[in-house]
Structure 1
């Protein structure tokens, strides 16, 4: 029976080649479009899913045009967030953050410079190695604290490092010995390590 249907289908395709070609091309384009839409959607939904409650976290981005016609984008500038909290209700927690790509000087325990690093994650990289943020950052993006706690962000002269960055700056050794060590950003902003995640 199946062989009979295949023969009839083949005869129809050979007898009406033009219409068959249109149908086959249309079916192929439709299938390809569905696959492309699925892949794009899957790719877009694959970001930042490791955060707990990632479906409840929203990012607000502000943009501006330059005099030359280009576009600048800021990740949640502080004035935008502070105005939104009064105009829009329903925020459980909010924090602003912005990249900070200034040079980093690592100080010894005596306060002398022992190393200097670029403000980027890698040479010729666009990503900043540091972000400036508010006290609710670790409420929205929880981390495992090795030393310290989230309340230290209430003091602007404190900094939190990841374990890998702390070891990069201060070398091997106990993490508790790295607390209180100084970093200088842009040759003028002195901060002290108060936590490691």
Structure 2
């Protein structure tokens, strides 16, 4: 059965859910990244953005809100419409919500390298080789000194330490990685290298879904 990713978002409203705890940590890290960002215009991209719960509530109350040009890419038009409505209600004209495949590099060509790259809800739903490929692409998506915020469950086999190694290999330094005891995996890495040219026409990953991954 195909997962209903619109219904999946209901767990955000459950205070004791893992998803609720995860988004609280992600928002904390987004806020810190915006606080530390350089003066001037800021570019933000969000892959598989869902209903925009990670970014939009933070931007709505952040002093840098008017400096941000953001693109949220989401496959499900129902989720995209929720995000679009939330951005409008928060008075964030700089936030664009695009319906489409977030894995396509061309979706971001005019906004990279970005100061903040959100890859939340992705790494737990794609195969390991695609995680590695996406981390490699992050070195083109992210500006020097910019931040990538990503998530991955800490269940066994716990791939988070390996993912951290992949980021290090691409010129990223760790800012924060939640512990297995936290029950949710949120990672933040800062790019210290020089962005490589974005590969046009590339597909970074195939979104498989956690349920399908664990059945094989």
Question: Higher RCO, 1 or 2 (CA under 8 Å, sep at least 6)?
Answer: 2
Give the TM-score normalised by the residue count of structure 1.
0.24
The structure whose Rg is larger is 1
